Structure formats: C-alpha cells, structure tokens
Structure 1
Amino acid sequence: MTLAAVIAASTSPAAPVGDAARGAEVFRQCAACHEVGPQARDRIGPHLNGLFGRPAASHDGYRYSESMARAGDDGLIWTDDTLSAYIENPRALVSRTRMSFAGLPDAQARADLLAHLRRFSDNPSDIPEAEPTARGTDHDLDPAILALVGDPEYGEYLSSECVSCHQADGSAQGIPSITGWPTEDFVAAMHAYKARLRPHPVMQMMAGRLSDEEIAALAAYFKDL
C-alpha cells in the first residue's frame, strides 16, 4: 500500500472490525519494543496500557522523541483512526519518529491489533468516538495523488507562507524543519493535516487551502531546497 493510502485505509467506511484474540498474535511484531498488560513496563518503547483516548507523548516517565512530543503538544490523541494511520506508516502521522517499525499495511491486522490493545485501556467503551466499531466516513484520498509530479518553481512561488514559520536554511528554531523532506513524506503529512489526523489547527487550515497539485509543487520545492 502506498503512503497516500494511509488516510483512506484508516478512515474508510469499509474498514474491518478487529478480533482481539487475533490481535494478540499480531502484537508479537510489537513485543520487541513494547509491553501491554497487568505487568507491562517501559522498554525501548513505552508500555501501551491506557493508550486509547490519551494524548501522544503523555506517558509519565518515558522519554519521547522531539517529533512525538511535538505531536502531543499539537493535540494528537490516540484513537482508532490516528493509531491505525500511525501503525500503517509511522512517518505519515509523526514525521521523523524514532520508532523503527516499517508499518503494518494489512487493514484487518491493524484492526485486530487495536482490538487487542483496547482491552488494556481503562474504560474502552467510554472512549469518545472510538468504540470498537467506530470508523470515520468523511474522507477518501485517491492513491494517485503520489503520482503527481510537482513543479518546484511553482512550489517556490507558493512557499512564502511556509517559510514565514519554517526556516528555509533547514534549521529548527522551535518549529520542525521541512527542508530536504522526501516528497512522499511531505505529501503524506500534508494530506494527514487535510484529513485532520494531524491535529495542528494552523497546518490544518493551510493544508485545507491547497490543491493536490499545489501540495506536490511544494513537496518538490522543499525536497531540493
């Protein structure tokens, strides 16, 4: 599955309902870094108890990456939709996350895994918007978006608003650098803002004003800046 399908897979009305027993088997792929359950402890990654409904990077005592901490500060909450997008391709939701997991492309396997993890949240049935059968229905991203070849000159023309916050020289002064990003990462991130999976309100507004061609042009410009 392509990066552009991250949002469609996690928000499609046909997304499968998970089986927790099968999800326990899928969790073996996560167990090298994470634990979940009554005796769970932090390992390479934080333990995953109480995950649903929790802000990103909010587990006390664990040292998160700057990218994950920033996502939490922006308001990212772990729900079915956001967790599915993150598990399918971590970088599509949190750029430069240090989680080395390559991603889980199978939608049923992700649903099973989330059903398993949900059993270890405090009150899963009371989590807003995230009951076991909840699925978003308001977005359908065309995978062909990644096939668009952006015009870097047009991207430079469009970039004035971007560089009013992001440093053109690639430095990060409280705001992450977007210079030198791979085009697929840039496009996937912008469409995650458009879909309101990435929570930053200013970026949601900015991305919402851009066409697919304009996003591709910006991605082409910043890649080689």
Structure 2
Amino acid sequence: MAGTIGGSVFILCTFFIGLPVLIADFMIDRHGQKDAVTSFKEQAPGKSWFLIGWGGIIIACLILSFYSVVGGWILSSLGRSLTFQLSSNGSEGNYADLFSNIISSPIEAILVQGLFLLLTVAIVSGGIKGGIEKASTWMMPLLFIFFIVLVIRSLTLDGAMDGVNAKTFLKALGQAFFSLSVGIAVMITYASYLPKTEKIGNSAINVASIIVLFRYLQV
C-alpha cells in the first residue's frame, strides 16, 4: 500500500496527522494508567466517551481475527520452508497453487490458526515487559533482517520502481493510521505503562519514525 500510494504522501500523513493522534492516545492513558474504557470514564465521568474505548477493543479483536488467519498461513509456509518442501516449487504458478492448497484445507487452516493464537496468548500473558517486550527483543531484529533480504531481492526484479507513484491522499492517511495503530485502544493501553517522567512527544516521534523506516523497507 505504501508503495502504491506514494511514499512521500505516507510520510506526510504519518507525521502531520497520525503523529498528533498518537500523542493524544499516549496522553489519555499515561494520565490514567488504566485500560482504555476506564481511562475515558475517569477523564470524562458521566459522558459517553468510554464508548470509544469499547469501540477500540472490539476493532482490535476483529483485527486479531484477521491476523490470526494470516499468521496461520505464515506458520504453515514457514513449516514447509524449514522442511525443504518449498524448494520444488520453483515457479510462480506452483507457489500460487501451494497457497491455494493451504487456504482450501479447513483442517490445516484451523490448526495453524490455533497455533498462532496459542503463541499470541503465551506472549501476551507475560504482560508488556515480561511478554511483549521480551519477545520483541529478538523478533523485531529478526524481522528487520528479513526486510533487508526482501529489499535486496525486490530491487533485482523487473519493474521494481513501478509501485512508487502517488495516487490518493486518503489511502496514505488510512495506511498511516493503520501503521500507528491509533484510535483502536492499542496505543492507549500501551501508554498506561509509560512512567510519568517519560516525554510523550519523544516516544511518539520514535514510534512514527520506526514505522516509516519499516514501511520503506517493505516497499
């Protein structure tokens, strides 16, 4: 998406629109240090703003239902890769057929989705520091290495620059919001763990900068 809509538009949307919203999310729960629903209730008692918190939680659950399916596909492909089952699929058509076989097998799809959810629960149950941060210390560097490999490979393909063009501001804005996870209670929840001495602006800029860097590596 970032490559299709134009990288420069994505950067502008991220820093000039997404970043202020991210700072607002941080401020809401760094102050209350509660879950998204309780934070809205405490800061706007008697008002209906807490429905935004519930809306964010519901949206996050819906996003997880999508990502768990995709995560299952990735685990299935990873398993085939580690057992050298992909080496025989040398053409694009064969890979397409392989993917069709994965998604058309309900038993395999459910099993790998369940495995992905179990891994997610195992990490999240450890909390922010003992779970997510601990897993990220090795998962994020590994992801960065994968991106570097993909960048090098993609630059060797024909028409590699065809995806770099500006189309619509709306798509860029949507991608920026999606990448920053703003407005869906995710960053509000993370901000509840921020110490009072943490500078919100610096944290938000760091997050936005890293997001832009990784999006460009994907492009």
TM-score after normalising by structure 2: 0.29
Larger RCO: 1 or 2 (CA < 8 Å, sep 6+):
2
TM-score w.r.t. length of structure 1: 0.29
Return the structure number with greater helix share.
2
Point out the structure with max Rg over C-alpha. 2
